[in-house]
Amino acid sequence: MFKKLLRKKTNSKVTTINESVDLVKEDKIPSHIAIIMDGNGRWAKKRALPRIAGHHEGMKTVRKITRCACDLGVKVLTLYAFSTENWKRPKSEVEFLMRLPEQFLNSFLPELMERNIRIEMIGVMETLPSHTQKALKYAMNATKDNTGLVLNFAMNYGGRAEIVMAIQQLMKQVEEGELAIDDIDEACVNQYVMTSHLPEPDLLIRTSGEVRLSNFMLWQLAYTELWFTDIHWPDFDEQCLVEAISVYQTRNRRYGGLKGEETN
Ligand code: FPP
């Protein structure tokens, strides 16, 4: 379907990733792409490898997709790296996952600087292991003045917990007499979600065949276009990202209204 879409645009055969990137850039690129990176474990199992080998390979995919998103001119890339529910996994797997930000950032930081990429994080920093916090804080600080792509890691993140925290903040304001209950609107809630300074995701990608949100960005995804693929995260590549974007470009976002030509 993807090749067909691209051929329809040009009437010619698309062969290389560079050609696909150039072609997809002729149309609207989503400003914010959010990804649920699923299937590391299944990728490893298929190869009779331990689950952590899948996570390690998944980290390499993060690097590849970050580069491609940067080349495409995406403004924000939010990656679901560790959910509030992932603490339930075996201790050794959790420990391995908590070492990934260090591994990734230690080796990738010079390139992040070169590419003007800023590291950010959503989720609860305080309850992460101190070495994970240290790596994230170091990279966030080192890249804080970069003005290109925002690479936003969702670490120790849960969508419901985020909404609960926003409610608590609003209730505090009410208690202190700074806000009337009747004045609470969507903009007030927006102020207190962890992405308050970022645009809402235009496109959500989930890999590995599951078709659910798994507590990811529940507030922010209200009008986001969803795209699912059976490909496991370690096998996800630049062509897959371009395919997701080219499908996004065929979607008609109405935000509850009517299509342009139907409004007259
Ligand atoms: C879900 O797949 C994946 C995760 C819980 C971890 C995702 C983490 C990465 C891809 C690496 C992150 C990299 C950095 C730099 C932080 P799963 O293990 O649930 O797969 P399964 O459903 O096949 O078992």
Sign of the C-alpha dihedral computed for residues 253, 256, 257 and 262 taken in this order:
positive
Q: How far is CA 236 from the centre of its chain?
A: 14
Task: Indicate whether 261 pLDDT > 90.
Answer: no
Ligand 1 atom closest to 210 (CA): 22
Task: Indicate whether 45 pLDDT > 50.
Answer: yes
What average pLDDT does range 4-28 have in this prediction? 75
Q: Which residue has the tokens 């792509």?
A: 149
Ligand 1 centroid–CA 18 distance in Å is 28
Backbone angles phi, psi at 82, to 5 degrees: -160, 120
| The residue type at 202 | D
Cβ of 158 closer than 6 Å to ligand 1, yes or no, is no
Name the residue at shortest CA distance from atom 6 of ligand 1. Answer: 81
Ligand 1 centroid–CA 33 distance in Å is 17
For residue 57, the model assigns a pLDDT of 98
Give the confidence band of 5 by pLDDT, cuts at 50, 70, 90. low
What average pLDDT does range 224-237 have in this prediction? 98
For the ranges 55-64, 150-159, 245-254, the lowest mean pLDDT is seen at 245-254
Cβ of 234 closer than 6 Å to ligand 1, yes or no, is no
Name the residue at shortest CA distance from atom 5 of ligand 1. Answer: 82
Cβ of 21 closer than 6 Å to ligand 1, yes or no, is no
For residue 255, the model assigns a pLDDT of 78
Task: Indicate whether 10 pLDDT > 90.
Answer: no
Q: Could you tell me what percent of the chain has a pLDDT over 90?
A: 88
Cβ of 37 closer than 6 Å to ligand 1, yes or no, is yes
Q: Which residue has the tokens 């070492």?
A: 99
Looking at the annotation, which residues are catalytic? 38, 86
Ligand 1 atom closest to 82 (CA): 5
4-38: string of b/e by CB count within 10 Å (b at 16+)? ebbeeeeeeebeeeeebbebbeeeebbebbbbbbb
Is residue 174 classed exposed, middle or buried when 0-12, 13-18 and 19+ CB atoms within 10 A define those classes?
middle
Ligand 1 centroid–CA 14 distance in Å is 31
Name the residue at shortest CA distance from atom 2 of ligand 1. Answer: 38
Other C-beta atoms lying within 10 Å of the C-beta of residue 151: 27
250-257: list long-range contacts, CB under 8 Å, 24+ apart.
Answer: 250/5, 251/225, 253/223, 253/225, 255/223
Domains of the chain: 26-157+199-248 (3.40.1180.10)
State how far the alpha carbon of 24 is from the alpha carbons of 72, 117, 214, 248, in Å: 8, 21, 29, 10
Report yes or no: 58 and 228 within 8 Å, Cβ to Cβ: no
Residue pLDDT, tens place only, 152-200: 999 999 999 999 999 999 999 999 999 999 999 999 999 999 999 999 9
